[in-house]
């Protein structure tokens, strides 16, 4: 139960931060989604920093990783998890899975957005 609460609290904080950073950075760069781009890159940097520290420092607890990585970064952006998972695939030399995961995520992600928009319009 404690782990669920840590993820919940971190996720809420990450979502609020995402909103704030997205608004701050979103500004006048349309049609380029600068707010989301900024959040995704910052989230990738943050998850890398946290995991790098956790891997090198045994005093970083599982609870801290759950709160910061799964909760905060997960609420801030899922792109950070995507980037870190790809890093691990490359580090382990798994080029096939890396390629399938990356291309599949992009193609299916875009397709899902288009499908969702189409369904939303169809149902409204």
What residue numbers does the annotated binding site cover? Answer: 74, 77
Contact 40, 34 (CB under 8 A): no
d(CA 10, CA 63): 11
Structure tokens, 109: 């992600």
Could you tell me which residues are annotated as the binding site for Na(+)? Answer: 74, 77
């Amino acid at each position: 139960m404690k782990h669920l609460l840590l993820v919940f609290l971190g996720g809420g904080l990450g979502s609020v931060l995402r909103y704030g950073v997205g608004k701050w950075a979103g500004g006048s760069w349309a049609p380029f989604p600068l707010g989301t781009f900024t959040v995704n890159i910052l989230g990738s940097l943050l998850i890398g920093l946290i995991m790098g520290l956790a891997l090198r420092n045994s005093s970083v607890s599982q609870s801290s990783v759950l709160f910061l990585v799964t909760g905060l970064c997960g609420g801030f952006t899922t792109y950070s998890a995507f980037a870190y998972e790809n890093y691990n695939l490359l580090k382990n030399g798994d080029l096939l899975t890396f390629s399938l995961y990356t291309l599949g995520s992009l193609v299916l992600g875009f397709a899902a957005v288009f499908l969702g928009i189409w369904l939303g319009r169809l149902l409204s």
